[in-house]
């Protein structure tokens, strides 16, 4: 299985072959030789979309998940599909692109929080299933207030407006990644094996398996709508909503 979402997050459709067929919770589920569907994880919800079958029927995908190391797309309705069938997979691009923008925006925001909160430790993110908000969680010492949150918001939006390049880089080890990006790195101090790192030029570097945009310009202006000692909620500014 070639998971293209890792290397080409902008691919919206893909002609491919069915690699395996299973039944998952009474639904037909297929794994694909070339897969564009993200199964969810790291705080990012799974993709939605549809699959065009050899019969000419287009069946919605109701769930995407990972089983035994493979990504499976579950079909919303009964359909006849076999191994080696030629199919076309189609992403719900509006949802995917919104999650890409939110996920990248969360990295920018975490970079701003790291520079504003003493003893900052990242605790993860959660993009809402309806893709209307993203919550970032962290620990550290700070005094939550409207003034503090506006300063963090302004700092994040300044970096977004700089149109910083966003790169997906793979290193043989975490130590290699940390050595390369020590001044902007945030994340775990130990990890086994090769590591995929999202690098926002001169601002943030963080191990991540999700999908992201190519430039902070694509994120657009954000606003911070709720906060507490251990979290901040981010949304796109009204003029910038998906």
Kindly state whether residues 134 and 169 are assigned to the same domain.
yes
CA–CA distances in Å: residue 193 to residues 21, 38, 172, 174, 212: 30, 22, 6, 8, 22
Kindly state whether residues 122 and 232 are assigned to the same domain.
yes
Domain count, the chain: 2
pLDDT at 191: 87
Question: pLDDT band at 239, cuts 50/70/90?
Answer: low
Locate 108 and state its tokens.
């920018």
CA distance 221 to 72: 34
DSSP 45: P
pLDDT at 241: 61
Kindly state whether residues 84 and 102 are assigned to the same domain.
no
Locate 236 and state its tokens.
């796109």
Residue at which a domain ends, from 91, 106, 138: 91
Query: For residue 238, which of 53, 225, 228, 136 has the smallest C-alpha distance?
Result: 225
CA distance 102 to 16: 29
CA distance 158 to 123: 24
Kindly state whether residues 111 and 214 are assigned to the same domain.
yes
CA distance 149 to 155: 10
Kindly state whether residues 80 and 129 are assigned to the same domain.
no
Q: Are 58 and 50 in contact (CB under 8 A)?
A: yes
Query: For 169-227, what is each residue's pLDDT tens digit?
Result: 999 999 999 999 999 999 988 889 999 999 999 999 999 999 999 999 999 999 999 99
Q: Are 97 and 120 in contact (CB under 8 A)?
A: no
What contacts 31, CB < 8 A, 6 or more positions away?
1, 18, 19, 20, 22, 70, 71, 72, 73
pLDDT at 3: 96
Instruction: Please state the rounded mean pLDDT for residues 110-117.
Output: 96
- Average pLDDT over the chain, rounded to whole? 95
Question: pLDDT band at 123, cuts 50/70/90?
Answer: very high
Kindly state whether residues 119 and 209 are assigned to the same domain.
yes
Locate 81 and state its tokens.
């599909």
* Structural domain boundaries enclosing 225: 96-240
Query: For 40-86, what is each residue's pLDDT tens digit?
Result: 999 999 999 999 999 999 999 999 999 999 999 999 999 999 999 99
Kindly state whether residues 37 and 9 are assigned to the same domain.
yes
Considering only residues 189 and 105, tell me which one the structure prediction assigns the higher pLDDT. 105
3-state secondary structure of 109: helix
Q: Are 152 and 108 in contact (CB under 8 A)?
A: no
How far is Cα of residue 224 from the mean position of the Cα atoms in its chain? Answer: 19
Kindly state whether residues 52 and 123 are assigned to the same domain.
no
Residue at which a domain ends, from 91, 125, 157: 91
pLDDT at 189: 87
Locate 36 and state its tokens.
């564009």
Kindly state whether residues 73 and 153 are assigned to the same domain.
no
53: domain CATH number?
Answer: 2.40.30.130
What phi and psi values does residue 22 have, to the nearest 5 degrees? -135, 170
125: domain CATH number?
Answer: 3.30.980.10
Kindly state whether residues 131 and 13 are assigned to the same domain.
no
Kindly state whether residues 228 and 162 are assigned to the same domain.
yes
Instruction: Please state the rounded mean pLDDT for residues 112-139.
Output: 96
Residue at which a domain ends, from 91, 116, 132: 91
pLDDT at 67: 95
Kindly state whether residues 101 and 145 are assigned to the same domain.
yes
């Amino acid at each position: 299985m070639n998971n293209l979402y890792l290397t080409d997050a902008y691919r919206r459709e893909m002609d491919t072959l069915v690699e395996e067929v299973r039944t998952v919770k009474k639904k037909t589920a297929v794994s694909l030789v070339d897969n564009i569907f993200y199964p969810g994880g790291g705080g990012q919800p799974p993709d939605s979309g549809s699959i065009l079958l050899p019969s000419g029927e287009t069946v919605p995908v109701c769930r995407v998940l990972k089983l035994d190391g493979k990504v499976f797309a579950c079909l919303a309705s009964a359909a006849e599909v076999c191994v080696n069938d030629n199919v076309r997979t189609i992403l719900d691009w509006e949802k995917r692109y919104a999650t890409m923008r939110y996920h990248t925006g969360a990295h920018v925001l975490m970079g701003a929080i790291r520079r504003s909160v003493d003893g900052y430790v990242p605790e993860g993110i959660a993009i809402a299933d309806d893709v209307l908000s993203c919550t970032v969680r962290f620990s550290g010492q700070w005094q939550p207030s409207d003034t503090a949150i506006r300063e963090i918001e302004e700092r994040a939006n300044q970096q977004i407006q700089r149109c910083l390049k966003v790169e997906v880089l793979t290193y043989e080890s975490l130590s290699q990644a940390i050595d390369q990006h020590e001044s902007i790195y945030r994340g775990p101090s130990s990890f086994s094996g090769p590591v995929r790192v999202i690098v926002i030029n001169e601002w943030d570097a963080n191990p991540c398996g999700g999908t992201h945009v190519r430039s902070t310009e694509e994120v657009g202006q954000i606003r911070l709508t709720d906060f507490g000692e251990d979290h901040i909620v981010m949304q796109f500014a009204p003029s910038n909503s998906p």
